[in-house]
Amino acid sequence: MNFSDCTMYLNLVQLAESFEVSENVVEAWIREEGLPHTPERGLLLFDRAQVAQWAATRGLATKAGFLAAASPALGATLRLAPLLRSGGIFRGVSAAAVTGIFVQVACAMHGATPPVRELLGQRLRAPDGVTYAPVGGGFALPHPTTRITLGRESGTLALILVPGGLALTEPRVDEVAVSWLWFFIAPSPRAHLDMVGRLSRLILSGALRTSLERGAGDEEILQVLEAADAAAETAASKKQEGAA
């Protein structure tokens, strides 16, 4: 298989540029941090999804988000606003109640069978069942550590506001306690990578972050996501037209 022709793989130079580090740093990550890689004809190739997961567990969710490959079909399928309407917005949640909310959201997820929901609930309750991928500034993207391939119409997104803050020991990117949790379950590993990328970019771009920091209501938050969905679909459509 010629991995270098696959958009899901990056070479050493591309990966270093994605993380804004030198190639030597990436090579050190391989030796010392177990960065997933594939030797191929003298080259080092990196699967985007594997690298994003590796980065998220080390507090590099912000950088990992930019590894998401453009996918018009996927972008049109995974609209964030409907997923949030399904998952819900939870306010005034204590740190002790966060895991229970994760389980509640998973068990109410559309498009998943009861056995799958039960399995997700069990895994989310496990000590290492959730990966907290901090973005910084009080935001994190928690998700199941072990992903399950679900149906195309499945998946969910929930916003959990923790006024007292959730102190993450590892990983963390700054000293700010996490107050906004964007918990999600994606229907596939590729969709998972897409959601990490889109949510990270939305938080960093300003509109979503600003609305949350000034205490926006549920409908306003949903409207921000609807506008982002529309912009993503327009960009995907233009890209398809340009490729035609």
Residue 58 phi, psi dihedral angles, 5° rounding? -120, 20
Residue 88 vs residue 235, higher pLDDT: 88
Q: Given this model, what pLDDT does residue 71 score?
A: 45
Hey, what are 165's tokens? 């803050």
Is there a domain that residue 61 lies in?
Answer: no
Q: What is the mean pLDDT of residues 102-122?
A: 89
State residue 96's pLDDT score: 94
Query: What are the Cα distances from residue 218, in Å, to 73, 97, 227?
Result: 28, 20, 14
Regarding whether 187 and 86 lie in a shared domain, the answer is yes
Residue 117: inside a domain: yes
Residue 234 within a domain: no
Whether residues 48 and 78 fall in one domain: no
Do 125 and 155 share a domain, yes or no?
Answer: yes
What's the pLDDT band for 171 if we cut at 50, 70, 90?
A: low
Specify the number of domains making up the chain.
Answer: 2
Q: Is residue 239 part of a domain?
A: no
Q: Is the pLDDT of residue 4 over 60?
A: no
The reply to whether the predicted model has a pTM over 0.95 is no
pLDDT, greater one: 36 or 62: 36
pLDDT-above-90 percentage for the chain: 29
> pLDDT value at position 67?
62
Which residues are CB-contacts of 223 (< 8 A; sequence separation ≥ 6)? none
Q: Which of 227, 208, 153, 233 is nearest to 185 (CA)?
A: 153
